[in-house]
Each structure stands twice: as C-alpha cells, then as structure tokens.
Amino acid sequence: MVVETRPRPRRAAALGTAVMVAGVLAHGLWTLSRPVAESGRVRVGLVQAAILQDEKWQPQKAWGNIDLHLDLTRRAAERGARLVVWPESAVPFYFDTSPPLAAELRELVQRRGIYLVFGNDDRDAKDDRRERFWVGAKMLTPDGDLGLRYHKMRLVPFGEYVPVQSILTLGGRVAAKVVKQVADFTPGDEAATGMVDGHRVGAFICYEAIFPDAVRLFAAGGAELLVNITNDAWYGRTSAPRQHLAHATFRAVENRVPLVRAANTGISAVIAPDGRITWEGPLFEPLWRVQRIQWPGVRTFYAEHGDVFVYACVLASLAAFGYGAWRGAGRHDGDSGAA
C-alpha cells in the first residue's frame, strides 16, 4: 500500500488492512468478554520478603531471612493457601547438603499440608572435571518429598555466565575469581514440571520471562499454571521491575494459562490467562498474598507448535515482496516508446 501508486490497488490494500485490524480487535474484545474456562482451582500464596540485595547473601543474616519467609508462609497457609511460592534465591543454602534446612522446610510443608516452590541453587561436586552450579527452583510436596527440581535454562550474560569466557577472561586469568563465584553457572536443559493436586505446574526463573520460546516449553509439557520467581532487587525503584512484570503478562496470554509471580522485593503479581493483572503488590514491602487460581485446562496453538505462525508470516511476506518485484520487473521490461 505504501509503494503502490495505482488508486484501485491502494484502496483495496487500505480496505483489507482496516478489515484485518477490526477483525483482530473484535476477536480480542469477544475473547475478553467470555468467562475463563475452569478445569479445577487452587489457592496460591505468594511470599515477598523484601530482602535488600546487600543483605541477601550475608551469612550472619541467612537464617533470619529464612525465618522471615517461614513466618509469611505460615500466615498464607492459615488463610488457606495450598501452594506457596517463594522468590528466586530465597534459600541461600544448598538444600541437598544442608540437613537442618531441609528438615525445617519439610516440617513446614508436612505440618501445614502445603506445596512449597522456592528459589534454591544447586551444586554438583561429583564431577571430576570441575564443580558445576545451577540457578534453580524446587518444590516440596505436603509429604515432604521433592516434587520438582528445575535448573534455569536461559542465563543472564555477565551476571550468571560470561559469554566466550576463554576470550573475555583471557583463559580465566582475568577476573577468574569473580567469574567462578558469581557468574559461572551452567544452563539447565529441561523445562521440568511438577504436580499440584493432579495439575501440572511449571516454574521458570527471573530473566526467562522475556523469552516466549523458553516459557512455551512448560505449557507444551502440560503445565496448567506458570510460576515466575525472580529477584528484582538489583533494579531498585527504577522502571525495570514494572517492565519485567509486563513481559510476564505476555507469557500468560501466549499459553492461555494463569501466571503467578513471586518477586523478592516486588513486583509480585497474579496474572489471568488473558493477560489481565488481577493483583500486584508494592515494591520493597514484606507481604504475603493468597488468591484463588483457576486451572483453564486448555492449550494454545502457540504452546503446541511454537513460532510456526511467525515463520509462515515471514515466508508469506517474502513471497509477496518477491512477487511484487517480479511483476514490477516484468512491466518495465515490456515498456516501449517511439523516438
């Protein structure tokens, strides 16, 4: 329509564009007006402990931070929460090698009869080649069993790993200590899910919320509820926490599943399958929230097939441009004139 100079094709293109936009808008309004499908429901409790970044990893405050999460969880459980979610890195101990911590958390879920999702990193010291670390999430069942162990698949460049490390660190000689202790995590390789009262749940971590293709894998694996745990304390009171939340709303829409978000300092939120934020908390305030979540029991075309539609649009656009170029070349070749 932009490059076409003939009046009739320009009008036809303008009309077609208007009809397409109106159709998309009408379909969106119709979809939003319909009730959300329900195949079940669960009461979810979100815990936001609001621990400042410079206090999060101080050894002398580690158990105090855990106690704060425990206290907020008890309050949520008393209000009927069946699934409670803690933020990313909420537990600053290795679960597998910290028996007192494991016993404390297992006692909590067994006594309260809840599922507990919490951010907790993993370490593998058995590898003869080198020690490996993963940014992780886990879920304990009401029986105290580990019902989910997930390792973050999309790591933050220069925050959780160093791209082309052999070059940028001169083979490990430059900033080797910082890289090993802070930014040398191994990416996970599976969108692991767990079961909550017969329904599948997928938990992804922080930065992964901006990747549609990564989050889709959880829905493709059957997840009826998406859980996003994050620590946005790094961003302070900038616009970044709100931008991060905005990304998460699209992940709910694409997969047509509800999404709950537990953020260390905020913004914790509950997002409906149509992308509407039904609740969000403030920044830098300790809080807990219990809300009923409906399992929709549906799976979208995107969850099933990924970016097939996008690829088809790209191919159709290339074909249209190619056809237009060919027709234009044909008209110019056929031009003639008299001297």
Domains observed in the chain? 35-152+188-305 (3.60.110.10), 154-184 (no CATH)
The rounded mean pLDDT for the chain is 86
Q: Please say if 208 is a catalytic residue.
A: no
Q: Is the model's pLDDT at 22 over the cut of 50?
A: yes
- Catalytic pick from 152, 160, 224, 254? 152
pLDDT computed for residue 179 by the predictor: 43
Neighbours of 148 (CB within 10 A): 22
Give the pTM: 0.83
> pLDDT at position 209, please?
95
Peptide bond into 205 cis (omega under 30): no
Binned at pLDDT 50, 70 and 90, residue 128 comes out as low
Give per-residue pLDDT as tens, 248-277.
Answer: 999 999 999 999 999 999 899 999 999 999
Task: State the Cα–Cα distance between residues 125 and 287, nearest whole angstrom.
Answer: 36
Q: Which residue has the higher pLDDT, 199 or 329?
A: 199
The residues, ordered by sequence, that sit 6+ positions from 281 with a Cβ below 8 Å of its Cβ are 46, 48, 266, 267, 268, 269, 287, 289
The mean pLDDT of 6-21, rounded to a whole number, is 79
Structure tokens at 205: 């971590």
Q: Write the Ramachandran bin of 297: left for phi over 0, alpha for psi from -120 to 50, otherwise beta.
A: left
313 catalytic residue (yes or no): no
- The Cα–Cα gap between 263 and 43 comes to 18
> In this predicted structure, what is the pLDDT of residue 216?
95
CA atoms within 13 A on the CB side of 133: 15
- For residue 193, pLDDT over 60 is answered with yes
- Please give the pLDDT value at position 110: 96
Q: What percent of the chain has pLDDT over 70?
A: 86
Catalytic residue among 56, 138, 206, 208: 206
Element housing 145 (H / E)? none
Q: Quote the CA–CA distance of 276 and 32 in Å, as a whole number.
A: 9
Q: Tell me the pLDDT tens digit for each residue of 149-185.
A: 999 999 888 778 777 666 655 555 555 444 444 558 8
The confidence score (pLDDT) of residue 109 equals 96
Cα dist from 209 to 188, 206, 230, 297, 301, whole Å: 15, 6, 9, 22, 19
Least confident of 108-122, 156-170, 180-194: 156-170
Active site residue 88: yes
